[in-house]
Structure formats: C-alpha cells, structure tokens
A and B are shown apart, each in its own frame.
Chain A
C-alpha cells in the first residue's frame, strides 16, 4: 500500500485509494475466473463423459473391449484449443483438476519442452504419476511406493507393475479407504496423459510412445488427450497412418477466444457493477493488441488490470471511483486539496462555465457546496451508465442484424463508436438508420421484443415509459396484421391481373403504372409505423448514448491514458533506440542538438555520430576509415585552438571515444566483428528500425 503514497497527497486518501483498488480488482478477477469456468464447463463435461465412457469399457471387460483390445486402440481426445497458446494453461489446469476430482487420480501433464526424447517423456510421466499417487494416499504405508524415482527403470513394464500394485492396494489392502476413494474413482481408474502442446512434440517421440503404449493397453487403461492449437489435421500430419490407426480419436472443440473476449467485455465493461470504466482509446488499444498480436484473453485481462492500477495510481480523485453507496461518505470527507483537484478537472470547468454567475462563484469558492454538487454529478454519472448500457444493447440488437454491419457486428465495436464521439453524427449511423427503415416486419417485431426484454431487465428507473412505448409499437404491429390481410387480398388481385396479360407491351405498361403508383402512393401504415419506430430508437440514442467525454466528472471513473498503456504493453524498443540515435534532441533538451531535416549536429553524443556514419557504409565497414571520419566530424565540432601542442593527446581521447562508441554499437547489435577482412566490422541492420 505504501507505494501509492508517492503521489504526494495526504496518506489517508492514498490508502483508501489502494484499498478501493484492491477490492475492485479482486472483484474483477473473481468475475473473470468465473466467466472462464462457465465457458469451459461444457467442454470439460464432454471430456469427462468421454473419459468415463472409455474407462467403463475397461471396467466391465465386455466383449466390445476385448474386440477393441485386439485392435489395440487407445482412446484419445483431441482438444482443439485455438492459437492463443498462453491461455491454454488455465484450461488444462481446470481440466486436470476436474479429472482428478471425478475420474482418476492418475493424470499426467506433459509439455514438449520437457520431453526431447522418449526416455525423458517416460521419466516425466512416471514422476508425475507416482507423485500424484503419493499425494492421494499419503497416509498409507509408503514403503513400497516411496522408491525414489531415479532408481526405477523408466519403462512401460515398470509403469504397469506400479499400476497393478496401486490398484490392487486400493482394492484389497485398505477396504475402508477403498470405499472412500471408490466414491470418487472406480476400481481401476484410467491413466490420463495430457499432451499440452501436441504440435511441438517431436514426431518420433509421439510415435514411439503411442506404439509402445498400444502394446500394453490391455494391462494399462491409458487415455490420451492432445492439446491442439491449429487444426485436427495436424494429428495426421504428425503421425503416419500406421500409428494414428492405433488411436481412437474423438474431437473436442473449445470456445473460440473471440467469443471468450466478447463475454469478458460484456461482463466487465458493459455493466454498471464496476465503477471503473475504460475510455475509448484505451479499449481500442487493448482490443487491437488482442486482435493483431496474441488472441490471448489472459493478456487482455492483464491489460485491464494495468488500466485499473494506472488509474488509481495516477488520478488522486479516483478515490471517488467506488460503488454508489460509498460515494456520499467519500465525497464529504474530501480534503480541500482534493476539492481543488475537482475544480481543476476540465470537464468540471466546462460545467461551471455553463452555470449562472452566482452558482459559479459558489462552486469555485465554497467547498461544501462543491461537495454537494459533486455527489449529485456522480450520481448522475452512475445513472447515465445504467441507461447507456441498456440503450447500447438495444441499439446493438438493431445494428447487428443489418446487412454489411455499418456499425459493426460486435457490441464492442458499437461501444467504441459511441464512446468516441456522438454516434448519431457519423455516416455509419446514418446509413444504418436508413437500412433499419427497410427492415421487414417480423424482424422488426422480434427486435422490439428483445429491446423490451433488455430494458425490463435493466436496473435503470427511467425506462418504464420507454418500455410502454415499445410495447405500444408491438401492439400496433399486431393490429396491422389484421389490416394487412385485407391489403394482401388487394395486392393478390392486382397480381392476378398481371398474370392475365401476356403480351409484352401491356406488361411493361402495367409495370410502369405500378411503379408510378407506388412512388406517388402514400406510405402504407406499416411503413409509417416503421418510420416511427426507427425515429423513436434514434431519439433514445440521442438522449442516452452521449459520449462519456461530454459528461461532467468523467475523469474520475474513466481511464483514458491510451499512450501510457500502449507504452507499457506494446512497446517498440527498436523505434526508441532509433530515435535516440537519430535525433538525440528528443531526449536531451539542448539547443545545440536541435537539427533540421534528416541530418544531425556534429555536437551530438559520440554514439549518435558513429551510428550516423555507419549508416552510410555497406556491408563491411573499415574501422580505420570509420575512425577517420569520426575524428573529422568531432574535430570540426571542437574549437580549433589547441591543435598544435596537445593534438596527440586529443587524438588519443578521440580514439578512445571512438572505441567506446563502436563497442556500444556492437552491444546494441548494429555491428559485429568480421573475419572477412582485417580490421573490418560487418553491419547488421538495414532499413529503418
């Protein structure tokens, strides 16, 4: 907590800020974990049922099993998890926990980097299995199991004998124990081996392992699980037919990471549960990192965490970023400094300017008045959020079904658009309204129904009227139906007329007439109603989807420092290095370094000059010439006064400076010594950084 203190405020506030931050973050974290669990639940359930199936066959030793035994097929689950490999760990951990709880104590997780050869694989496998065995019945007599793993010869036969001894023991030796354990596991639980990253295993190892274990499948009920990042095809790519025919593969597909992200955004951002909000740019940065860099939901959450930290650390007023119930207390305990901080907020200043002069003075001078006002404004802000989210969802219902999705398919895109600026002023919104005016009735009705549901379920109080209005629309549509049936008769009759006339001229004529009449004809009732609905939605949007930047005091709950975030998560070290070398003035604020265009001043730090000179060279650089050029530049920069007496010494110093600069460039990886020619170095970079 003490780390927060440096911002220089009184310690009470910082402490409170830290506590607020921690509780908020813990909430968010548990929420994300919950989401993850829920999303994986289906997958895990499927897997568990698969495992218990494969296992029961071994149990019962039915004919089916024996016939399968003849074929020596190993039951295998291929788990397609997607390219975001870093998120898989969590899934696997959940999986092994579930398995250990429900199916079998014998679960081994293998990673490719631990298993360069079959021997390592066996070692790792046995180590994990025997350890977990010790964990399970740690209270039992340990003499026979406690053989140090290094002394056991790691082979399939020793594994089998171990398995037999363990299962026998649970069967016979400890009947009491057995009842306990058999409530969770069956008599001879399968041995589950999980290959976390199947693609990175060497094919030889995998093949060998599969072939060997298939020989022993009747003694050891083995089940394999392959974690696959790319596509199930990879199994056949890695394993020849002779090997893959030993497997009985079932495919499981996990939820795509994009859906996962959508759920996370939905549950974390588009809710009024958490007082903390992300600004448009920040959200954009996070989403871009996700989409263009790693597809990792974990990283997204990490970025979100960073946002929370940064916000609470850098914004002293973030103490007010708390649940609604606490606001009152916190506002009234604000110190004078904090009140000044509020007055300094740009959005608050804008707000003050709009007030009449008497109130302005009060706001700017009277702390307690300011506090009252602040509380009111914060409550307004809270209400705004609630309304915002509901209306946003309603709007999304409309826009997500339009052709070509002018406002984006996902709700996050719509959210960004709304946060960025007044969405109703954008062209995309205009075109989507136009498209909405062409929706057919059934779609429109279902959408309205969805909107009603959303608004009913939202906690905002203002929506009673809106809901009523929407319901009214719905009944009107129903009424229309009755009328429409009559209208249909008319149109049918006209069509019949059309069919009667067969010659081309008349056909053309009637068509033209029809067109004319349609153009001039008054809008049908349905069309009128449709216009009304769309206009109403439009009015809702204009009322509620005001961008957050326009709200007073938005700085307190919105985190907007996108540049900071980008710098922390998505840094560009090469660019920074390049800038420092090319344009030292960016960092060292000295007039002498100021330069125009591409060149740099000859007073720049040595390494910059040396770097510049090296850019002009080809693949190899002659050190002597380089030194010469350097000393020319440097000498020109220095005052030509002491050239006679101490020139030798100066030379030495320049020489030394050159050496230092060159070895620094070598450290930075721009050059390396070359053996091609004496006293030459090779250049390693080309083009811009």
Chain B
C-alpha cells in the first residue's frame, strides 16, 4: 500500500518542468510581485491538486486572502503526512485540514470562519486560471485494459456488498412506510423519494406488495430514450385503450384528463424511477408530468437522485406535484441506473463505434473507403490540436483529387452525403462560412480503425 501511495509523488516530477512558465500568466502570481525567482509552484499530487503559492517573504501580510501559503518544506511535510495518514488506514481528514494557514497566524477561533472562507476560496482558486494542474497520466498508459460493460457487471456481482445487514435494516425501515404512502397518495399527495442509494428496489417492492391488483405504470426514467411522449402514449394506449395519435403532448394530456374525469372509477399509479434523469428533467417534460400528477386519480410516486434535482421545479410545478418528501437513503448501488451511462472508464461506445465503422465502410466502394481514410488520417495528424475545427471542404477536395479518388466536387459531395447519413462524419460551418468535416469518433478508435483497415488491405 505504501508503495502505491508513494507513486503519485514520483509522478509529479516531470510536471515541474512545464508548470512554472504556464502558471506565470495567472492573475494571482502577477499581482503578487515579490520575488519572482523565489516563487515556485508545487504539488500536483492527486491528493491536493490545488496549486500552492510559496511565499517565503514574511512581510507579505496580504496572505490571509491566500490562506494556503506554506513554504515548500511544509508542503512536503504535508504530503508525507497525507501519505502516512493514508497508510495508517485513514483518508486524509478534510481538505481544510491540509490547507489551513501556517501556525504562526492561525487562531483557533478563526478556524471555522476560515473553513468557510476556504471553501469559497477553493472555488475561485480552482477557477482562477484556465489551466489546470493535474498529472498527465492517462488510462491508456495503465497496464490494465478498459473493462467492458459485461465484465464489469460480472466482477461487481462477485464482489460482496459491504454492510449488507445494515443496508437491509435501513430498507426495512423504509418498507414500514408503505401503507402510509398509500394513504397519502390517496389523499391527493404525491410522493418523492430522495437520499443516497438506488431506490429502484424499494419502489419495486412497494409495487409488488401493494399495487398488484391495481393499474400501474412503471417508468424507468434513467432509460436513455425515454420521453414524456412515450409515457403519455403508454397511458393512452395501454391504460385507456385508445388508438390514435395526438398532435401534441398537451392535447394528449387534455385527453387523459378528460377520460379520468369522466370515469371516476379509473385509477392509475405511476411509478417513476429517476424523475430527474437527463431525458425528463427538461422544463416542458416536467410541466407535463406535473400536470399529469395533479389529476386526482393519478397517483405519482417518484425518486430523485441528482443533487440539484429540486431546482427543476418552480413554485407552480411544486404546487401541481403536491409533493411529500421522504428521505430513503438506501446505500444500494445504482446498478440499473448507471448501466446506461457513458462512463469514461467503461469501454462500450468505442467497440461499438469501431464495429459499426467497419461495417458501413465495407459496404462502400473502394474510392469511398479511400476518401474516409484520408479524412481519418488527417484528423489523427491534428489530434494534438484541441481547437482543430475539422478539415475544410476545399482542402479535402484538393486532397481527394490528388489521390485520384474523385473527379469533381459533386461526386465528393454525393459521397459525403452518404457518410453523413450513416453518421460517419459531421459537418460544421465555421465562422468564415467554410464547411468543416469531422469524424465524431475518439482518436483511439480511429487509430484502431486505421490499423484494421491496413490489415484488411
């Protein structure tokens, strides 16, 4: 463990050489014009990624603004402390612990204020410069391969869930509330569950234990292609047995409201997992769902997870929803909810994109493949340029002509249309009105693709 804890520091070393010149431009350093030679920037450890300003000049009393102005020695001490703490089975206590000012001007009384101040400061410190100091290590350099969704799933299934007994206790507490929820739903309230942990199982249990005999609709909000329209459709088509389409969701909503008003025996329970998901959090969707939930014989019980989820609702929507909040912290892992997420660490989009690329390309003519190759190669050449806008159409045409791939810009355009239809390329019009072409695939996939192509040829 100690070896692992040490590694980050070793890693810092190469960074040192680059950092100072980059950082000299930041407003902080230029305003603090003491002795520029003595200034040094340290620390890019993963433990404290904030940059520190080493100001050994004791006369400089403006440093209360920069509470974290310790000298380099202290810095190193800090780091050691952190690593020892780490190996001593403790995570470093708090950010503040590391960044409290040196002891000479620290007062115990002020500690709390400074904590607060530090938080604010941290924010501005982090946003003061456009450059961020982190190490340049990438996952690719790691000897481990990216896991794909399936192996990840398998691995996690084998890993034992920590504190299973306590979590079960916690869930049982929540389950005792079921009948209360039922009562409150019937009284015209709607219920929203919040708190850490997946509430899917809890809702599912609620459904199986109490809603078996009633009409209910389960909406998996976390599903990436869910829309309000599909929710409304399933109500009209499956609950109300209505065949036909509607011009707008509002019309559909009106229809639903009318039907429920006419037939007072009609009751519907709607369970929404993740009401705050990407697809449902929009203003219009929420408005429609709120209106839906305000119907007296539609009972809504939903869960939210995002920290800013309550911001979706203004007073008007809140009063339509008529929420009762229940804290149901379950500590259950979000298995289903995160499985659709495009995590950086999971290799899913890559393999998919690669195979689809190959597929489409193989069905094209040799010339078309050549055209695509040209574009791909060009893009890979420019991969170090973050503001690379794409290859302009004129340049591309020039290159294709030189490679004897097309004979007129019309043929090239026809070809590009085909690419675009298969979502192989994206065109963007730049500020100067020139059309730029880009392959919306990450570089590693593109490299893989070119390698495979080479094998093929």
List residues of chain A with CB under 8 Å of any chain B CB.
3-6, 84-86, 113-114, 294, 296, 298-299, 302, 305-306, 309, 313, 567-571, 573-574, 576-577, 580-581, 584, 587-590, 593, 597-603, 605-607, 609, 612-613, 615-626, 628-629, 631-633, 635-637, 640, 651-653, 655-660, 662-664, 666-670, 673, 676-681, 683, 685-689
* Contact indicator B325/A623 (Cβ below 8 Å): no
How many residue pairs link A and B with beta carbons under 8 A? The number is 270
Nearest neighbor of A568 in chain B, beta-carbon distance: B324
Chain B residues with Cβ below 8 Å from A574 are: 307
* Contact indicator A590/B48 (Cβ below 8 Å): no
Chain A residues with Cβ below 8 Å from B354 are: none
Chain A residues with Cβ below 8 Å from B87 are: 632, 636
Chain A residues with Cβ below 8 Å from B194 are: 571, 573, 576-577
List the 8 closest A-B pairs by CB distance, nearest first.
Answer: A625-B46, A571-B325, A3-B183, A580-B196, A86-B319, A6-B179, A656-B155, A588-B166
* Contact indicator A621/B189 (Cβ below 8 Å): no
* Minimum Cβ distance to chain B for residue A615 (Å): 6
Cα A619 to Cα B133 with chains together (Å): 9
* Minimum Cβ distance to chain A for residue B221 (Å): 11
* Contact indicator A663/B315 (Cβ below 8 Å): no
Confirm or deny: B18 has a beta carbon within 8 angstroms of a beta carbon on chain A: no
13 chain-A/chain-B pairs, Cβ below 8 angstroms: A298-B319, A309-B187, A570-B325, A573-B327, A576-B195, A577-B194, A588-B331, A612-B91, A652-B144, A667-B337, A669-B308, A683-B126, A687-B122
Chain B residues with Cβ below 8 Å from A624 are: 135, 137-139, 141-142
* Contact indicator B331/A587 (Cβ below 8 Å): yes
Given contacts A309-B183, A567-B325, contact A618 B93 (CB under 8 A): no
* Contact indicator B90/A602 (Cβ below 8 Å): yes
Size of the chain B interface, CB-CB below 8 angstroms? 99
Interface residue ranges of B135-188 to A (CB < 8 Å)? 135-142, 144, 147, 151-152, 155-156, 158-159, 162-163, 166-167, 169-170, 179-180, 182-184, 186-187
Beyond A621-B49, A635-B1, A667-B305, list 12 extra A-B contacts (CB 8 Å). Answer: A84-B315, A567-B325, A567-B326, A599-B92, A615-B94, A625-B8, A653-B159, A656-B156, A663-B341, A664-B334, A668-B306, A687-B122
* Minimum Cβ distance to chain A for residue B414 (Å): 32
* Contact indicator B138/A679 (Cβ below 8 Å): yes
Given contacts A580-B329, A620-B134, A624-B139, contact A306 B287 (CB under 8 A): no
* Minimum Cβ distance to chain A for residue B403 (Å): 31
* Contact indicator A623/B139 (Cβ below 8 Å): yes
Chain B residues with Cβ below 8 Å from A615 are: 94-95
Interface residue ranges of B284-314 to A (CB < 8 Å)? 287, 304-310
Contact segment of B53-61, B343-351, B429-437? B343-351
* Contact indicator B132/A590 (Cβ below 8 Å): no
* Contact indicator B287/A113 (Cβ below 8 Å): yes
* Contact indicator B46/A626 (Cβ below 8 Å): yes
Chain B residues with Cβ below 8 Å from A676 are: 132
* Contact indicator B123/A687 (Cβ below 8 Å): yes
* Contact indicator A667/B1 (Cβ below 8 Å): no
Chain B residues with Cβ below 8 Å from A299 are: 319
* Contact indicator A609/B91 (Cβ below 8 Å): yes
Chain B residues with Cβ below 8 Å from A294 are: 315
Confirm or deny: B98 has a beta carbon within 8 angstroms of a beta carbon on chain A: yes
* Contact indicator A616/B196 (Cβ below 8 Å): no
Interface residue ranges of B1-21 to A (CB < 8 Å)? 1, 4-5, 7-8, 11
Cα A566 to Cα B121 with chains together (Å): 33
Cα A603 to Cα B160 with chains together (Å): 13
* Contact indicator A653/B195 (Cβ below 8 Å): no
Interface residue ranges of B112-127 to A (CB < 8 Å)? 119-120, 122-123, 125-127
* Minimum Cβ distance to chain A for residue B88 (Å): 8
Nearest neighbor of A581 in chain B, beta-carbon distance: B196
Confirm or deny: B360 has a beta carbon within 8 angstroms of a beta carbon on chain A: no
* Contact indicator B163/A588 (Cβ below 8 Å): yes
* Contact indicator B344/A667 (Cβ below 8 Å): no
Confirm or deny: B246 has a beta carbon within 8 angstroms of a beta carbon on chain A: no
* Contact indicator B159/A577 (Cβ below 8 Å): no
Cα A84 to Cα B319 with chains together (Å): 11
Cα A625 to Cα B15 with chains together (Å): 14
Given contacts A616-B92, A620-B132, A667-B305, contact A567 B327 (CB under 8 A): yes
Of the candidates B46, B180, B344, the one whose C-beta lies within 8 Å of that of A3 is B180
Query: By CB atoms of chain A within 10 A, which of B97, B170, B307 has the most?
Result: B307
* Contact indicator A568/B343 (Cβ below 8 Å): no
* Contact indicator B152/A659 (Cβ below 8 Å): yes
* Contact indicator A602/B325 (Cβ below 8 Å): no
Confirm or deny: B316 has a beta carbon within 8 angstroms of a beta carbon on chain A: yes
Given contacts A571-B327, A605-B162, contact A623 B344 (CB under 8 A): yes
Cα A450 to Cα B99 with chains together (Å): 65
Chain A residues with Cβ below 8 Å from B91 are: 599-600, 602, 609, 612-613, 633
Given contacts A305-B187, A660-B338, A667-B334, contact A3 B137 (CB under 8 A): no
Confirm or deny: B47 has a beta carbon within 8 angstroms of a beta carbon on chain A: yes
Nearest neighbor of A585 in chain B, beta-carbon distance: B166
Cα A294 to Cα B319 with chains together (Å): 10
Chain B residues with Cβ below 8 Å from A568 are: 324-326
Nearest neighbor of B87 in chain A, beta-carbon distance: A636
* Contact indicator B119/A686 (Cβ below 8 Å): yes
* Contact indicator A622/B134 (Cβ below 8 Å): yes
Nearest neighbor of A295 in chain B, beta-carbon distance: B315
* Contact indicator B122/A686 (Cβ below 8 Å): yes
Cα A540 to Cα B118 with chains together (Å): 56
Nearest neighbor of B51 in chain A, beta-carbon distance: A618
Chain B residues with Cβ below 8 Å from A662 are: 343, 345
* Minimum Cβ distance to chain B for residue A420 (Å): 26
Chain A residues with Cβ below 8 Å from B315 are: 84-86, 294, 296
* Contact indicator A685/B307 (Cβ below 8 Å): yes
Chain A residues with Cβ below 8 Å from B319 are: 86, 296, 298-299
